[in-house]
Every structure is written in C-alpha cells, then in structure tokens.
C-alpha cells in the first residue's frame, strides 16, 4: 500500500472510530439510506433526459402512451367470439343493406315522379275531349303545341276504325279547336260526313233524357301526338266514352 493510500485509509478509519456512535444511531442510518437513494436516482437510466417517451400526433387523431403493455377494447367493434352472435351481426348488416337499397330505390322513384310533373308543367299537353256539340282537341299544358295528329283508333266493339283526317292548327296554352272532319272504315268501306255522327256519338256526353249504360264494356283508346316549338315530340294516350276522358299514358317520343 502506497503512502497516499495508507494516509487516506488511516483518516477514514479514525473518522469511523470517532463517530461510530452517531453513524450507527437511527439518524446516521437514515442519512446513509438517503445518500444511497439519491445516488441511485441520479445514476438510474430512467432519470436520463434522452430516455423520456415522446410522440407526435396529427390533427384530429387520438393517441395513447404507456410505459408497458396496454389492452384496448372498442365497444361494438370487436368481433364476437360467440358464433351465434357473429351470425346475428351478419344478418343485421344484410338487413340494413336491404333497407338502404330500398330507400335508394324509393328516392329514385320520387325523383322520376317529380321529373314527370315538371315535364307536364313546362310542355304542351294535348287531349281529345267531347262536348254535346263537338269533338275537339285542347292544349292543357303550359307550352304551345304544333303538328297535332290523332291516330286511327277502334271506335266500338264491332271493329269500326275511326279517324280525323283534317289538319289541326297550333294550340297555345288553354286553346282548343273542334274536329270537323270525321271518317269511318267499316268492312273496307269508307264512311264520311254526317253519316258518321251516330257512330261517333259514343264519345260524346249523353243528353239528360237518355240514361247512360250502367256498365260500359268498351272505351275507345285514342292516341294524340304533337310537338313543342323546339321540335320535341310527345304523345298522350286516353280512353274516351260518353264524355268521360281518362289519360292512361303520356310522355316523349
């Protein structure tokens, strides 16, 4: 042992001998324990600044930071372990999908109906109507109708074919014009003029002194075609008997 080491050793031993009562008392033991704890804390890896946990979070994100293991359970999202519960979840998903498609189809139907109503509002709409005196065409739409034509139609159950061969002038909103020319085709024979009045009377309202049949077995089905001023073609298909008119179809051609 060198002289310096011997001197240091001697100093420490002499200090311990002189202070042995204080060192091994309760105060001394507590002081030594505190010194050891502070030394351990200072040199512990967890106290190092470089070992601290850090994380970066983006906007709108949720972050969790722990020093050990963590278990996360999201309510309603974790797949069920029970096969019956899994089947119920699949059935519920299919049911919700069917409801979604049903609602989507309903929305498409409503859109189609709205579009058809808009078309009726902003286009011509020509019908054939009957009064006691005349058979006439009327434009009940909002736009002018041109090139109005009425196709051949079956007038009665006996197979008579009716036609209005005369030209029809353009009709503005709410305008009407009588059909003066009438023609019938019966068994290859053409009947025109006043001789057709009796047969065409099935289309007109009955006089008050004549009772309407309780049951109408045959209603002539008539198609009216026309155009708007832009050239778009339309049609209206109706049934007309004894002055009662029913529109059965309409649209663009």
**Spans of all domains in the chain:** 1-35, 83-121, 126-252
Instruction: Please give the structure tokens belonging to residue 87.
Output: 């089947």
Lowest mean pLDDT among 11-15, 161-165, 219-223, 243-247: 11-15
Bridge partners (DSSP) listed for residue 247: 238
Q: What string of DSSP letters covers 180-240? A: ---EEEETTEEEEGGGGHHHHGGGSPPPTTSPPPSS-----EEEEEEE-TT--EEEEEEEE
- Distances from the Cα of 219 to the Cα of 150, 157, 200, 237, 239, angstroms: 16, 9, 12, 12, 6
Q: What is the pLDDT of residues 142-192, one digit of tens each?
A: 999 999 999 999 999 888 999 999 899 999 999 999 998 999 998 889 998
Which residues, 6+ apart, have CB-to-CB distance to 253 below 8 Å? 225, 233, 234, 235
Which among 217, 216, 155 has a CA at the least distance from the CA of 186? 155
* C-alpha to C-alpha distance for 185 and 188, rounded to whole angstroms: 6
CB 199 within 8 A of CB 160: yes
The whole-number pLDDT of residue 253 equals 92
Q: What is the pLDDT of residues 57-114, one digit of tens each?
A: 666 666 666 666 666 665 555 555 678 888 888 889 988 999 999 999 999 988 888 8
| Positive/negative CA dihedral, 125, 142, 169, 133 | positive
Instruction: Please give the structure tokens belonging to residue 168.
Output: 């029809």
Instruction: Say yes or no to pLDDT of 138 above 90.
Output: yes
Sheet containing 244-252: order of strands: 146-150, 221-227, 233-241, 244-252
Average pLDDT along the chain? 81
* C-alpha to C-alpha distance for 50 and 39, rounded to whole angstroms: 19
Q: At residue 195, what are phi and psi to the nearest 5 degrees?
A: -70, -15
């Amino acid at each position: 042992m060198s002289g310096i080491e011997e001197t240091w050793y001697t100093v420490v031993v002499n200090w311990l001998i002189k202070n042995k009562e204080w060192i091994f008392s309760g105060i001394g033991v507590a002081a030594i324990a505190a010194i050891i704890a502070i030394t351990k804390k200072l040199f512990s890896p967890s106290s190092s600044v470089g070992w601290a946990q850090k994380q970066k979070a983006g906007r709108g994100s949720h972050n969790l930071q722990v020093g050990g293991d963590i278990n996360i359970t999201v309510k309603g999202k974790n797949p069920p372990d029970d096969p019956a519960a899994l089947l119920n979840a699949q059935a519920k998903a299919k049911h919700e999908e069917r409801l979604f498609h049903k609602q989507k189809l309903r929305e498409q139907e409503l859109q189609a109906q709205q579009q058809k109503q808009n078309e009726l509002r902003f286009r011509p709409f020509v019908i054939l109507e009957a009064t006691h005196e005349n058979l006439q065409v009327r434009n009940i739409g909002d736009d002018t109708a041109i090139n109005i034509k009425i196709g051949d139609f079956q007038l009665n159950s006996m197979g008579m074919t009716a036609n209005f061969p005369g030209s029809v002038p353009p009709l503005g909103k709410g305008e009407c014009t009588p059909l003066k020319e009438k023609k019938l085709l019966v068994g290859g024979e053409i009947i025109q003029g006043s001789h057709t009045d009796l047969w065409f009377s099935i289309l007109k309202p009955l006089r008050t002194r004549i009772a309407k049949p309780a049951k109408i077995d045959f209603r002539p089905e008539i198609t009216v075609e026309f155009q708007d001023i832009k050239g778009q073609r339309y049609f209206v298909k109706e049934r007309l008997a004894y002055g009662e008119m029913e529109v059965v179809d309409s649209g663009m051609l």
